[in-house]
Amino acid sequence: MAKPLDPTLVKILTEYGENPRDAAWDCHGTWVVYHKAIERIAAKAGITFDMPEIVEAKASEKIVTILVRGFLEQRSEWSFGEAAPSNNKNAYVYAMAEKRAKDRVVLKLVGLHGLAYSEDESDDFKPDARKSSASLKKQDANGDDAWNSLLKQLHADFTDCKSVVTLSKLRADYRENARNDGWPKAWLEALKDEFDSFEDTLPKADDGDFPGDRPNAYVDAMRGG
């Protein structure tokens, strides 16, 4: 049973138009806020950021540390975002480090630092993603790990995506495959994370929002929502 939401957490999330029970969840006693919710809060609050500074970059070792400074009216805050094999399984370490840094800065600026963490702080905060060994260790027809085979194919497909439009079409293809093959929930959550992280590396379209790119649309559609 989830612990009661902190009144301050409820107040701040509500002020920015977020339903606390949809925007956050109890991760073993720690309240964690979805990255997409933090992005919406930053936009509504009018938070801006300086160009991020790369503090450490060891791409071959998948280690990146990025410093980000953000501004809200007359206030400013800064924080580091780190991505390394010890705290990250996502393939896009630069995007993950940036997301972590920005999320921490937003939480500080709106008064949520110490009350909640971003879902991108750690893979341990990913609800059901990559954590269900039973559902992620199914074998394919060749006897190989089906999840790793799927992930390898997804990363190969990403190389053909040069815009949010083409990524949206790829989401639709994977959604159809998920429905036909009955992919487990853990796969859907982990794939959503892969798609979201890759999307952050693409140039944004001028008119912005496509149906497949809206918050949680990919997973919701896969669930039949």
Q: What is the pLDDT of residues 10-40, one digit of tens each?
A: 999 999 999 988 888 877 778 889 888 999 9
Of 59, 92, 125, the one marking the end of a domain is 125
What's the whole-number mean pLDDT along residues 59-88? 92
Dist CA 123 CA 114 (whole Å): 19
Give the residue among 143, 91, 88, 145 at the shortest CA–CA distance from 119: 88
Is 201's pLDDT higher than 90? Answer: no
Assign 119 to helix, strand or coil. Answer: helix
Asked if 15 and 113 sit in the same domain, the reply is yes
Neighbouring C-alpha atoms within 13 Å toward the C-beta of 87: 15
Per-residue pLDDT for 2 more than 70? no
In a domain, 169, yes or no: yes
- Domain boundary, last residue among 67, 95, 125: 125
Residue 199 belongs to domain spanning: 133-222
Quote the pTM value: 0.59
Q: Which helix (H) or strand (E) holds 150?
A: helix 146-158
**Cα(19)–Cα(36) distance, integer angstroms:** 13
Please tell me the number of Cα atoms within 13 Å of 148 on its side-chain side. 7
- In whole angstroms, what is the distance from residue 24 CA to residue 119 CA? 9
Asked whether the predicted pLDDT for residue 150 surpasses 70, the reply is yes
Of 67, 96, 125, which one is at a domain's C-terminal end?
Answer: 125
Does any domain span residue 187? yes
Q: Grade residue 90 by pLDDT with cuts at 50, 70 and 90.
A: confident
